[in-house]
A = this chain, B = another copy of it.
Amino acid sequence: MTLKVSDIGEKELVKYIQANSRTITQDDTAITEFGSTNLISTTDMLIQSKHFPNNMSYYDMGFKAVTVNVSDLAAMGADTLGFLLAIALPKDLEVESFKQIIEGVLSACKYYQIPLIGGDTNEASEIIITGTALGLTDKPLMKNTYNTGDLIAITGNIGFSALGFEIETLNNVYTQKALKPKARIKEGIVLKDYASSATDITDGLASELYEIKRDGFGFMIYEELLNVSDEYKTLADKLNMDYLDLMLHVGEDFELLFTITKENLEKLPIDCRVIGEVTDSDVIELTLENGFVEKIKNKGYEHLC
């Protein structure tokens, strides 16, 4: 039997590339030393049928293509330097729709104060947008440089996009978060001077925790601290979905997940929510509201699976 890429999945493919390249880092982005600072570069490809919900506007597609890339800069504590846009369009796309995509891209560039500096246009059977974001930071914030006892925190609400993808009506906070996510670039720049590590939540909290885990370290997350509202639970229930599954295993919130010492948390000048702590248990666990402890599954969004 011939092995197909879908038999092994995205994570194994990435591992193969990393194992064969001595120059690629394991972090969210590339770090290139540059005098007294560091050039941060990152690229993310969005494909219409995979990354854009059916009810997403062309404007929001363009905005999101910038957000997903800027979010990687945010996770490194980098300030923005420039954005490159490679875009492929179907031949029969209306010019007006193309203009709306570009308006979304340019609005996002303005919002994040990252200049659009270059790009490429192409033809494909669906809309494909590859962004590249460049940034600078004197002190790159790595994703796995925490210590036992550090607190685990997030910048905003998680699970909102996950629920929003499932809801058909547009005027609610969940769908708005799913269709119009924002990267936490300002928070990232603050966090680099306070946090011990950070990453952005793309593929779900569970997936990111496994991504940042080092041997000998564990994480304990407390459901109580996740602060799941009754409304959230009710909506998930109506959709026949498990609310904890939505909270932990879907992602696309683009919030920052970071670790911080108790001392630094007191000084931190931005809003955040502590959701757990770094342990030496070597496992990733959740203390449920009822007091039971269960292992969090290593399950999140993965392409080619």
Chain A residues near B (Cβ < 8 Å): 2-8, 10, 13-14, 16-17, 20-21, 23-25, 29-30, 32, 34-35, 39, 41-45, 47, 50, 81-82, 84-96, 98-99, 102-103, 106, 109, 115-126, 128, 130, 132, 134, 303-304
CB atoms of B95 and A30 under 8 A apart: no
CB atoms of B116 and A5 under 8 A apart: no
Taking CB atoms, residues of chain B closer than 8 Å to A119 are 17, 24, 43
CB atoms of B132 and A41 under 8 A apart: yes
Taking CB atoms, residues of chain B closer than 8 Å to A99 are 16
* Bound: A45/B103 CA distance, A: 21
Task: Give A170 Cβ to nearest chain B Cβ, in Å.
Answer: 24
Task: Give A5 Cβ to nearest chain B Cβ, in Å.
Answer: 5
* Bound: A41/B134 CA distance, A: 9
CB atoms of B4 and A116 under 8 A apart: no
Ranked 7 nearest A-B pairs via Cβ: A23-B115, A30-B117, A130-B130, A30-B118, A6-B91, A45-B86, A132-B132
Task: Give A87 Cβ to nearest chain B Cβ, in Å.
Answer: 8
Question: Assuming the A-B contacts A21-B106, A132-B84, are A44 and B120 also in contact, with contact meaning beta carbons closer than 8 angstroms in the complex?
Answer: yes
Pick the contact of A5 from B25, B95, B103, B120 — CB < 8 Å?
Answer: B95
* Bound: A89/B29 CA distance, A: 21
* Bound: A13/B93 CA distance, A: 12
CB atoms of A82 and B47 under 8 A apart: no
Question: Assuming the A-B contacts A17-B102, A35-B35, A118-B41, are A86 and B130 also in contact, with contact meaning beta carbons closer than 8 angstroms in the complex?
Answer: yes
* Bound: A304/B23 CA distance, A: 36
* Bound: A50/B124 CA distance, A: 8
Taking CB atoms, residues of chain B closer than 8 Å to A30 are 82, 84, 117-118
Known: A3-B96, A23-B109, A41-B134. 5 other contacts (CB 8 A): A32-B117, A39-B39, A50-B124, A121-B304, A132-B132
Taking CB atoms, residues of chain B closer than 8 Å to A16 are 98-99, 102
Q: Which of A2, A5, A128 is packed against the most chain B CB atoms within 10 Å?
A: A5
Taking CB atoms, residues of chain B closer than 8 Å to A91 are 4-6, 304
CB atoms of A106 and B20 under 8 A apart: yes
* Bound: A43/B134 CA distance, A: 12
CB atoms of B84 and A303 under 8 A apart: no
Pick the contact of A4 from B17, B50, B92, B132 — CB < 8 Å?
Answer: B92
For A68, the closest partner residue in chain B by CB is B120
Q: Which of A16, A34, A81, A95 is packed against the most chain B CB atoms within 10 Å?
A: A95
List 13 A–B pairs whose Cβ atoms lie within 8 Å, in order of A's numbering. A3-B95, A7-B95, A13-B121, A17-B85, A17-B121, A20-B106, A21-B116, A24-B117, A30-B82, A43-B132, A45-B130, A47-B124, A125-B125
CB atoms of B2 and A94 under 8 A apart: yes
